[in-house]
């Protein structure tokens, strides 16, 4: 997969300001527009029928943050989206995640399954030992209330790692 830089788009991506003038889009404006587009594309009830669709969705939602964000896709029994939620926000290299809060939200939404995800602002998608331990703790906590943990996706720039694809979940 080729790596694209925002500088290669500068001449063609424009945004309109409050006075109606068109100006060059910043990287942050481009990322925010991508997040809005993916939100529109995958609304409540959309089916996550393939790992590729999940990775695409989460990449658009989590790429570009300069801090860690821990997000969850809450799904029904047919693996259709109930809600996407960014539950925890951290620093440049960590985020505190509380299993109790995740379980409460899953129960509130009556979710049958979840896909958890977080970003690595460093650009390295490899899961840390702490990522693996956290995933196991979340699986165990959610299993107590009959909510399946389908995957844990790490997003790092344009790269993603799936725990399920690696046999880690």
Cβ partners under 8 Å of residue 65, min gap 6: 119, 121
Cβ partners under 8 Å of residue 132, min gap 6: 168
Fold of domain 45-162: Cytidine Deaminase; domain 2 (3.40.140)
Stretch (H or E) spanning 23? strand 22-24
Q: Please, are residues 166 and 154 in contact by the beta-carbon 8 Å criterion?
A: no
For the entire predicted model, the pTM comes to 0.72
The Cα-based distances of 136 to 7, 59, 75, 146 in angstroms read: 40, 23, 19, 15
The predicted structure's pLDDT at residue 2: 38
Give the residues across from 151 on adjacent strands.
115
Portions of the chain given CATH number 3.40.140.10: 45-162
Q: pLDDT, tens digit, for every residue of 38-55?
A: 555 555 566 777 888 889
- What is the distance between the alpha carbons of residues 123 and 158, in angstroms, rounded to a whole number? 8
- What is the distance between the alpha carbons of residues 23 and 121, in angstroms, rounded to a whole number? 28
Tokens matching residue 73 = 């896709």
Residues of the chain with pLDDT under 50: 1-10
- What is the distance between the alpha carbons of residues 74 and 147, in angstroms, rounded to a whole number? 10
The predicted structure's pLDDT at residue 3: 41
- What is the distance between the alpha carbons of residues 110 and 90, in angstroms, rounded to a whole number? 26
């Amino acid at each position: 997969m080729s790596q694209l830089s925002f500088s290669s788009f500068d001449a063609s991506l424009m945004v309109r300001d409050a006075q109606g003038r068109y100006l060059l889009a910043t990287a942050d404006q481009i990322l925010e527009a991508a997040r809005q587009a993916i939100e529109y594309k995958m609304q409540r009830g959309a089916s996550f029928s393939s790992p590729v669709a999940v990775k695409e969705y989460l990449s658009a939602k989590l790429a570009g943050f300069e801090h860690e964000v821990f997000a969850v896709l809450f799904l029904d029994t047919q693996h259709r989206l109930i809600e996407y939620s960014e539950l925890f926000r951290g620093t440049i290299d960590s985020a505190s995640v509380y299993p109790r809060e995740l379980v409460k939200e899953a129960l509130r939404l009556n979710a049958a399954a979840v896909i958890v995800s977080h970003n690595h602002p460093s650009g390295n998608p490899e899961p840390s030992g702490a990522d693996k331990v956290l995933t196991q703790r979340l699986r165990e906590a959610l299993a107590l209330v009959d909510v399946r943990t389908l995957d844990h996706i790490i997003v790092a720039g344009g790269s993603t790692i799936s725990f399920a694809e690696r046999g880690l979940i």
